[in-house]
Amino acid sequence: MPNKKKETPKKTQKKATKRPARKPATAKRAWKPTAVSTKTNFVTQVKESIDTGVSIKVANDLFDNLFAILAISIKKNGRFIVPGFGTFNVKERKARKGRNPQTGETIMIKASKTVSFKPASKFKDTL
């Protein structure tokens, strides 16, 4: 049997044509906040919401620093106000009587401080 060569069509040269200049992408990807219940999910939401390509590590550091500043401010000033969200206040609890649930014995619970949160009316209206 004779060897038959397959004939391939010759490539034709294309004329160089000028492509129209690409328009820069002006429409950003729409980010929608979703409910989260863990720090990891929160950090991921922050990362996705920032359009600059922030890493998870940077977003995690941002989260940690935000709450460190919040804690220090509440401790020093006794309150921290986030406009449109609410106010964090230091609240003092008086000493009181309590009961040990295992034995039923009456015990004294020491006075303590805690943080309370009062939501802003703007925030309450969104609920």
Could you please state the CATH topology (level 3) that the domain comprising 78-127 is classified under.
Answer: HU Protein; Chain A (4.10.520)
> Does an H or E element contain 79, and which?
strand 79-82
The string of pLDDT tens digits covering residues 13-37 is: 666 566 666 655 445 566 677 888 8
pTM over the 0.75 mark:
no
